């Protein structure tokens, strides 16, 4: 049995390249000048000549000089309220937990790698001209035409709500590209959690940040984020006319308008979460 190829069944195409990826993106419906929030698993795309750089370049080729790529560059290694922290400290004694907290690195938007966001997000974050938002847990990086507009001002006390890049993407009529990933990775649906009711539940968050060049704990109150029902919301979204499905390389892909996705999710949550 032959190796799975980038473009389809075994034997169809040995590997993706920048040009073939761009061709697939255009066939999907990605248009020049679009603002695109991208979540990607390059492993699902298949073997790509040039790796994440080729994928980013293909996106840039299709979007053109007026387009913008935005990716989530969230971090969890600097937080004592993240899932990653809770998993790593499970079973630790109080002394062990205190020692672990003392070694936790502070968030620096210029240098802190994202956590679990994938190779494409890291490539965009580290690309010349990229702008990264300053939220110490749920930052975004943007590249090309309107990078500063989308990522330049992110309230550190607002994860993914009205004072985050998601709200600006919503107003700008951006699209979501789910490249080899499902709705569980669809960050934009969190914006609906701020909107589905007037008083969404909140909680305290904590993370290590740099203040005056020194590490410091910072705590703030924000909306409870819960992606547990995102796959169910996504399954319902797939039954609407908003979602275009196709393939980029070997990956199954969805392209959908961010505004309609958020509005749909807010309505779904208003019904399901408040019953």
The domain locations on the chain are 18-272
pLDDT at 145: 96
The pairing of strands 175-179 and 251-257 is antiparallel
What is residue 131's predicted lDDT score, i.e. its pLDDT? 98
pLDDT of residue 238: 97
**Neighbouring-strand partners of residue 88:** none
Instruction: Tell me what pLDDT residue 15 has.
Output: 84
**H helices present in the chain, as ranges:** 18-28, 42-45, 51-63, 83-89, 94-102, 119-125, 147-151, 165-171, 189-193, 230-237, 258-272
Q: pTM score, two decimals? A: 0.91
Cα(191)–Cα(197) distance, integer angstroms: 12
Q: Which residues does 10 contact at the CB level (< 8 Å), separation at least 6? A: 1, 2, 3, 4
pLDDT in the model for residue 195: 97
Instruction: Give the residue ranges of the chain where pLDDT is below 70.
Output: 1-14
pLDDT confidence of residue 6: 62
């Amino acid at each position: 049995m032959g190796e799975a190829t980038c473009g389809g069944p075994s034997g169809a195409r040995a590997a993706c390249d920048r040009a073939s990826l761009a061709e697939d993106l255009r066939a999907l419906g990605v248009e020049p000048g679009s603002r695109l929030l991208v979540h990607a698993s390059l492993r699902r795309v298949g073997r790509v000549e040039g790796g994440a750089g080729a994928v980013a370049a293909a996106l840039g080729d299709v979007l053109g000089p007026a387009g913008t790529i935005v990716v989530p560059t969230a971090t969890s290694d600097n937080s004592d309220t993240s899932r990653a922290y809770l998993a790593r400290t499970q079973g630790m004694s109080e002394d062990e937990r205190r020692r672990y907290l003392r070694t936790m690195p502070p968030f620096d938007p210029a240098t802190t790698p994202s956590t679990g966001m994938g190779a494409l997000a890291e490539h965009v974050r580290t690309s010349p001209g990229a702008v990264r938002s300053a939220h110490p847990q749920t930052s975004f990086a943007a590249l090309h035409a309107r990078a500063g507009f989308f990522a330049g001002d992110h309230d550190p006390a607002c994860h993914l709500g009205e004072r985050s890049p998601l709200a600006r993407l919503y107003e700008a009529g951006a699209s979501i590209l789910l490249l080899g990933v499902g709705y569980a990775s669809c960050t934009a649906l969190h914006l609906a959690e701020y909107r589905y009711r007037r008083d969404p539940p909140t909680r305290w968050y904590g993370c290590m940040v740099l203040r005056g060049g020194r590490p410091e704990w910072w705590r703030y109150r924000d909306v409870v984020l819960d992606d547990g029902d995102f796959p169910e919301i996504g399954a319902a979204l797939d039954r609407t006319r908003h979602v275009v499905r196709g393939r980029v390389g070997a990956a199954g892909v969805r392209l959908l308008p961010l505004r309609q996705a958020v509005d749909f999710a807010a309505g779904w949550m208003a019904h399901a979460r408040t019953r």
